Amino acid sequence: MKRIALWSLSACLLVPTLAMAQQPLDLQMPAHAKPGQCFARVLVQAGYRTEAVPVVIRDAHESVQVSDPVFKSEIQSIPISDAYKDYVVTPPTFRTEQQKIVVRPAHERLRASPAVIGTSPVTVVIREPRLVWRPGSKGSEVRRIDAATGEVFCLVEEPAKTAVMQREVQITPAQVTREHVPAVVETIERRFLVTAPTVREVYVKAESKDVKIQTLVQPAREIRTKVEARTGTLQRQVEVTPERYEWVPVVCVDTPEGRHSIQAVQSALAARKYYSGPIDGLIGPKTKQALAAFQRANGLPGQGSLTVATARALGL
């Protein structure tokens, strides 16, 4: 069987997980490390043992059973309508005739045309012609000779005084015309009674309905039965060893020979259906996932680191 060699010039330290990186490293290194060995600080899961613990599966209680009530059925005739007298009315019948009615008689309508008035100038005598005495100096050529002669007056005829005014005169006299308005006639329908209405008395019998009536014979009952408690055992896990970190020997991969060994690990994981990536000698995410799955399946520590125990479990 081929073994993976541990190639390295000096001891190396690997911290593969984030949970480990967040915690302070233990300053005490592996006491028996030799040159060329590599170690990784890995989380070792807690160990448990299984023990049986008695438990009560079901408490004691009462079981209750109920029975439905029992009824007896019988048919009863229930009246739903009393007897009474009804009256059947036969309505009257009519015949219809059309009749013309004068709603407004024929008449004459008078229309008045007002007179046409115009204006005409008219000369009006304001003052009639008259004879008046005027001083001679104004009415004649006679002059006063001296103081003894006295005043000279002349009798003068003054013409009439007139004025022109506008007078309203009738051009066309007012007239009245007569217009004949015909009568307004409407046609209405008149109903004449042919047969008078009649009333006939009818006797209506009482009505009843058969109904199924249920009578309670036995009421519902309950039956109580005591049920004993049921016990059993529960498998409980008790912690034997606590969770802890340990230094685990790992394969050094910082040399060409180491990468060749990683290729052998990848091939072994692929043969066991844990790995489906390329055989490239590099521990990438897929290789770490395959290593972690193989370690969980076989109870090996490592969390994806290539430990010596993992390599041996793979037969390398």
Cβ proximity of 152 and 140 under 8 Å? yes
- On whether the pTM is more than 0.85, the answer is no
| Phi, psi at 45, each rounded to 5° | -65, 155
> Does residue 57 sit in helix, strand or coil?
strand
The confidence score (pLDDT) of residue 254 equals: 56
Is residue 285 within a helix (H) or strand (E), and if so which, with residue range?
helix 285-298
Q: Rounded to the nearest 5 degrees, what angle is found at the Cα of 201, between the Cα atoms of 200 and 204?
A: 135
Cβ proximity of 266 and 272 under 8 Å? no
Tell me the pLDDT tens digit for each residue of 6-20: 333 233 434 333 333
The confidence score (pLDDT) of residue 55 equals: 82
Residues of the chain short of pLDDT 50, as ranges, are 1-26, 138-140
The confidence score (pLDDT) of residue 23 equals: 42
Nearest Cα residue to 231 out of 62, 53, 55? 55
The confidence score (pLDDT) of residue 3 equals: 39
Tell me the pLDDT tens digit for each residue of 149-172: 556 677 788 888 888 888 888 888
Quick one: CA torsion of 191, 193, 195, 200, rounded to 10 degrees? 90
